[in-house]
Structure 1
């Protein structure tokens, strides 16, 4: 009985492959490290975006990468979850999924709607799915910017779609992945203020994961290689980096190689003694009349500049802005009678107070920023 083939081995033989078919689908340590680094960079950018959306401190830990199946993943989950499908439309061909706890989705939705994150007693609705889809759209959209820098090409996604997934009961037909197929699980620990402290999970089909890291591994392995030549270790560089005139047409012996690599050895032995002197720098102590002595200032005096007076600033959430209407009062961060900031082309140059000139508003300058600092601002 021990010599009998398993069903997987029989299937592999029928497909014309070897019994190592399953092993070939596993990730190497280098591929796992590359995926972890990609996830780390992407989630770091996503955390910043989520902080802007929720107004709460967001922390996402270093990812843990493993190869598993949906059936194995479902054994670790005993609560309802929400999956967000992310499909790439430019730069990369494939998809992945983000899995979040249903309670976390409700908290995120409540915070996005201007709540305190504690109104989570209601059932999961289309509003929750739409809100988490929009949050993931902005999070993954910002991470695509980081991925574009890594892969040196534009990467873009389609609008994500969110749907409920019953992992405990193994009901995940709408996830687009077979239950027994190998997948890559990238697990993160996410905290949002004192409201959320749980695991989010990124699921990537193993074929897509291999395509994702292949360019990175090829670049890192192809940028510098070593080989043995005449029992010496020679560093091999990219063929495009080697000037044409330096191409060797025949092997060189050790003496000729030494002269080629170190041409100064023979040349310096016949040189005469060199007269070495300390380098003399010009003194910059005399600055004349200072930084304001610009002899050609007349050339730019007729250049128009925009002057702006800032009354005050404030920050509002999207839900509050949507409630704006006639009669809404917006409280600013400036006290009554406090000097106003005066900007020229976006640079602050003075402070002042509001006055009325005939029937128009005006601004009386009460304080001028140091002239040298003003010039430096421009």
Structure 2
């Protein structure tokens, strides 16, 4: 009001009964249109479908992840809509995509997943996650998101790679916890909601949260890969088998003719070709002699010789329960021959003996070369 005239903002403030002008409206966040929502939903659907297959193999149970629902939200809304103790998986990209995205699942679901990985039935999950359980869920998320990145590499036709995911235990319902710890206040986010079902132990919501600029980058990658032309590969002309021919070795030069497909056309006016079946001498078995001079070149090469008493297959839970005095039953009977392994290959069957208070082996049978080839395969 330096010139004695009231500005429009001051007039509006007087009408409201205050001397403070109304603050300017905040610019709306960048829009994310329906086409982009469909594209990011398709990316999430394919990548998380691959991740579900990986999780199913880890748990030994069928894992179903439904078609995702995509919407635009912000950190505060995520906190209000998911007010339960959660595990936040921070997945940062190091190749192909700039930025990161987040997976949010409940701590109960994480506890069930770890229990299944350790051989449990998943029906009595622990209320709190120990350091060992956090390490287990980290490995599961690492393999899941790694397979998801591989599927995105196929979609984008360029390599996508991630760093090992970082896990954070967070309670969105508490005063201290909240989405603001991971996102700037008011930052627009793309929320992708899945329903995750693991047979009869898990039926809940899995949320993927992506900053809008990262989501737009993914959509641009997908649309760019769809617009890029498929490289044309021309199959080379396969050479014909050589046979006795009456064609002269140096025929007069003629202009080559090429069809529209790019393949060379046979030249006319050549004399007929005489083809005869090939004749081979019969094969006779011979005794190969080893050149001792050449064998001497490798006689001093060291080889690792080990003896395998037996094997056993255990779950992670059973391994963690081992301690001093634990007994492990092997797959071999008492008194049965043991295997002598040379550089990882089965070479002979042996029996265990004692030599001057030291264990040793006596070779009882040499494995045939044909059997050794089977072990190599």
TM bucket, shorter chain: 0.5 to 0.7
Distance in 2 (CA, whole Å) between partners of 1:278 and 1:58 is 62
**Is 1:159 aligned with 2:166?**
yes
- The answer to whether the 8 Å contact 1:184/1:206 transfers is no
Corresponding residue for residue 202 of structure 1: 208
> 1:214 is matched with which residue?
220
Give yes or no for the alignment of 1:105 onto 2:103. no
C-alpha contact (below 8 Å) 1:69/1:179 kept by paired residues = no
CA distance in 1, matches of 2:338, 2:82: 58
1:65 to 65, 68, 92: 68
Distance 1:27 1:263, change over 3 A: closer
Residues 294-303 or 73-82, more deviating: 73-82
Residue 228 of structure 1: aligned partner = none
Q: How many residues align?
A: 317
Distance 2:284 2:85 in 1: 69
Per-residue Cα deviation, 1:87-136 (whole angstroms, up to 9, x for no partner): 3162243232223244323333445677554434x6x43x35x5564334
1:12-40 deviations in Å (ceiling 9; x for gaps): 9x67x9xxx63537526454333322223
User: Shift in Å at residue 64 of structure 1?
Assistant: 1.7
Query: Take 2:191 and 2:277, find their aligned partners in 1: how far apart are those partners?
Result: 60
Unpaired stretches in structure 2, ≥5 consecutive residues: 1-23, 235-256
The answer to whether the aligner puts 1:36 opposite 2:42 as a matched pair is no
Q: Which residue of 1 aligns with 2:359?
A: 361
User: CA offsets, 1:122-176, max 9 Å, x none?
Assistant: 6x43x35x55643342133234544268243643135222323349xx9754453
| 1:80 and 2:84 correspond | yes
TM-score (norm. length: structure 2): 0.64
Q: Which structure has the greater CA radius of gyration?
A: 2
Structure 1 unaligned blocks of 5 or more? 1-9, 225-235, 242-257
- Alpha-carbon spacing, 1:119–1:262, altered in 2? closer, same or farther (3 Å): closer
Residue 333 to residue 222, structure 1, CA distance change in 2 (3 Å): same
Please give the alpha-carbon distance, in whole angstroms, between the structure 1 residues aligned to 2:221 and 2:279.
Answer: 49
Change (3 A) 1:110 1:24: closer
SS in 1 for 2:283: coil
1:334–1:216 CA distance, 2 compared to 1 (3 A): farther
Mapped partners of 2:340, 2:141: distance in 1? 39
Measure how far apart 1:331 and its partner are. 3.4
State the SS of the aligned residue for 1:83. strand
Contact 2:90 2:102 in 1 (8 A): yes
> What is residue 374 of structure 1 aligned with on the other side?
372
Normalising by structure 1, we get a TM-score of 0.63
Structure in which a larger fraction of residues adopt helix = 1
- Paired residue for 1:183, among 185, 190, 202? 190
